[in-house]
Amino acid sequence: MKKDKLAIALLDDDHEEHLLFKEVADDFSEIKSVLSFAKGKEMLDYLRGEDKSILPDILFLDLNMPLLSGLDCLIEIRKNEKYKNLPVVIYSTSSSEKDKEATYQNGANLYVNKPVEFSDMRKIFNEVLKINWKEHSGAFNFQKFFLAI
């Protein structure tokens, strides 16, 4: 995405994951802010609400969430015409082909496994920020849908 500064959002129920995500994001001058959501309903309410000061340019969704899964949230996001071009990166520990297929079929743009190492998280940010999302509004073909770091 070629834009001066980006707002990115993370939906994840793990507080430690938010801290790591924010710490890595702070190292990238392209990122102006990180929105953090611990519950799917909280994120969907934010996106649906009228009182939002920042809209995300890229949204990272964890799949394994209580109540509303990342897949449930993805489906809801893609129902809203306003967010049909919002880049959604699935950010999960799951390597299941079933999860990859389901998220691909429901409109995710990219699938990334959560890294263990801090340096790998930086690599993920590097790769995701290199993508020109304006020119690439849909998912990659299925072979390139999964970003391996």
The CATH number assigned to the domain holding 113 equals 3.40.50.2300
* E-only strand ranges, the chain: 6-11, 31-37, 58-61, 88-92, 110-113, 146-147
pLDDT at 21: 93
What pLDDT band is residue 2 in, cutting at 50, 70 and 90?
very low
Secondary structure class of 17 (helix, strand, coil): helix
Residue 51 has pLDDT above 90, yes or no: no
Residue 22 has a CB neighbour count (10 Å cut-off) of 15
Evaluate whether 5 touches 32 at the Cβ level (below 8 Å).
yes
Does 1 reside within a domain? Answer: no
Domain tally, the chain:
1
State the residue range of the domain holding 34: 6-147
Evaluate whether 24 touches 50 at the Cβ level (below 8 Å).
no
What pLDDT band is residue 45 in, cutting at 50, 70 and 90?
very high
Does 67 reside within a domain? Answer: yes
